[in-house]
Amino acid sequence: MKERFIMIFVFIFTFILLVDLYSFKGIKLLVSTLGSNGLRYIIYLFYWMIPVLIISFLLYFRTLLPFEREPRIFKNFFLLAGLFILFYIPKLVFIVFHLTDDVVYLGKWLISKLTSNHSNDLVKNVQSISRGKFMTQIGLVAAAIPFTSILYGMAKGRFNFRIENEKLSFQNLPADFNGFKIVQISDIHIGSFLGHENQVKSAIDLVNEQNPDVILFTGDLVNNFAEELNGWIPILSKLKAKYGKFSILGNHDYGDYFDWKNEAEKAKNLNNLKQAHADIGFRLLLNESEEIQFNGSNIALIGVENWGLPPFPQYGNLSLAMNGSADLPFKILMSHDPSHWDAEVIHRTDIDLTLSGHTHGMQFGIEIGNIKWSPVKYKYPRWAGLYKEDNQYLYVNRGFGYIGFPGRIGMAPEITVLELKKA
């Protein structure tokens, strides 16, 4: 981890240096007409405080290596990542406009040198400065758009829970299950919510208000380790469903992204996490299936351990998980990573409905009417919402929590309500 952190630090330091030096050139142009030198120096001071603080915090985190199993350390590290994104995405936008004018000016300067056209140089220089300042002003206004969006995503967007309702019809659904209501949640990443207990309580109340028959949780309860759940089990255990709460593990639940002292410590952590699922009231499905009985009929609920495309681990065993479900007329699969659906489910099994999460919708995207886009689609073609192939469905939940960037922009945290209907 030390070597990886040092590489990240060198990259970020170089990036900050280059971006801030060039951005500062634009800032100097913008404030060049201010009459007060003191005001200009105050603006310069505030400008350079941001990179100095970010680099200082990075150096501080360097002294904490190797990181202890302390949720607050990781939460603060994610906050630092959020501040970096908050200030440097807008700076990149600002640079584009400032750089555009510099490129145009450089091109004209080269042409004038090659053609030996030195007439009216003074007028051209004055016009260039005026145009350059105008373009830089436009860049500043443009940069305010991502700054405001990111700031809102960090302050409010990550807690703006949204209910997504879907009614799904199946010919082979037992008639007794007509109207059966499933609430799916996914990717809680509870360590990221440290200090935001009230927001989580409100979200759990929102889940319970949907009056679910079952609650299905599709993995990533934590970011790295079981200690993140300290103090949270009494809150999470308030999730209520009439016919049970079921869960699976996600890629983060295995502790694969933390440097453990030894394999025994890692295995103990996983066992503690499994016990936490039970303490919350979840029936954790580990490559196994359960029968859900409703109004006298039964359907199969299948849960696999995490199965993802490399570099994500493949602990899941679908064949093993489906044992005992062959005679049931309708099957629901819980599989954390939606890649699994294409790789092993559709056209290979008789599973009717698969529920996944994992992508978070990248915590960033655009969803307006029929327009649905996020950069994560280029990694995961099935990245959010409902998908259908022949008579098989996949629903990808956008996630309850967040990790890395402590915010959501245009991609609200999701509580999914699925109502099964007899076709």
Helix (H) or strand (E) holding 292: strand 288-294
Least confident of 10-14, 240-244, 329-333: 10-14
Report the pLDDT averaged over residues 146-160: 98
Asked if pLDDT for residue 107 goes beyond 90, the answer is no
Give the pLDDT of residue 122.
44
* Environment class of 397 (CB within 10 Å of its CB; exposed 0-12, middle 13-18, buried 19+): buried
Bridge-partner residues for 388, per DSSP? 393
Report the pLDDT averaged over residues 188-195: 97
More confident residue, 60 or 109: 60
CATH number of 162-422: 3.60.21.10
More confident residue, 1 or 376: 376
Rounded to the nearest 5 degrees, what angle is found at the Cα of 331, between the Cα atoms of 326 and 337?
A: 115
Bridge-partner residues for 356, per DSSP? 396
Asked if pLDDT for residue 280 goes beyond 50, the answer is yes
Residues of the chain with CATH 3.60.21.10: 162-422
CA–CA separation, 64 vs 56, rounded Å? Answer: 13
CA–CA separation, 11 vs 13, rounded Å? Answer: 6
The tens digit of pLDDT for each residue in 207-219 reads 999 999 999 999 9
pLDDT band at 126 (very low <50, low <70, confident <90, very high): very low
Count Cβ neighbours within 10 Å for each residue of 91-108 and write b for 16 or more, e otherwise: bebbbebbbebbeebeee
User: What tokens appear for 110 in the block?
Assistant: 């080269």
Name the CA dihedral angle for 264, 269, 272, 273, rounded to a multiple of 10 degrees.
-140
Give the pLDDT of residue 146.
97
Provide the whole-model pTM: 0.92
Tell me if 411 sits within 8 A of 374, measured CB to CB: yes
The tens digit of pLDDT for each residue in 9-32 reads 889 999 999 999 999 999 998 888
Name the CA dihedral angle for 69, 245, 279, 274, rounded to a multiple of 10 degrees.
-50
Report the pLDDT averaged over residues 155-161: 98
Give the pLDDT of residue 350.
97
Start-to-end CA span in the chain (Å): 54
Report the pLDDT averaged over residues 392-421: 98
Give the pLDDT of residue 36.
83
- Using the structure block, give the residue that is written with the tokens 């990694």: 379
Helices (H), 164-294: 197-209, 233-236, 263-280
What rounded mean pLDDT belongs to the chain?
Answer: 93
Helices 71-115 and 37-63, packing angle to 10 deg: 130
Give the pLDDT of residue 306.
98
